[in-house]
Amino acid sequence: MASVTVKFNGMWRLYVGAGTATLQAGVIEEALKQIEKEFAPKFEKKLQERGVKLDGGILKLSYITLNRKNIKELAERTLKDGDILDLFVAVPGG
């Protein structure tokens, strides 16, 4: 297990009420499950209070990086001490 820092950015920070959190996980998927369990419900509740309905959960609508690299592009999913996961709400447009 690795000690990983999760940085909440933008709406994540606003709705979760924290800038960072530390968790223990061996692979990215474990870390995401912990985030989904511990932080996503609070975020989803804030969205629902504003009339936003989610289809599939907030993590599916988020842009997530590991040490500034998009996790969708990573072949290696193992985490190590000191890794940083950044969470951003994906916003369409340009």
Q: Do 52 and 77 form a contact (C-beta atoms < 8 A)?
A: no
Say which CATH topology domain 2-89 has.
Ubiquitin-like (UB roll) (3.10.20)
- C-alpha to C-alpha distance for 73 and 42, rounded to whole angstroms: 28
Selected residue with higher pLDDT from 86 and 58? 86
Q: What pLDDT, in 10s, does the model give residues 6-20?
A: 999 998 999 889 999
Query: Where do the domains of the chain lie?
Result: 2-89
Q: In one letter, which amino acid is 35? A: I
pLDDT for residue 44 is more than 80 = yes
| pLDDT tens-place string over residues 48-85 | 888 887 776 778 889 999 999 999 999 999 999 999 99
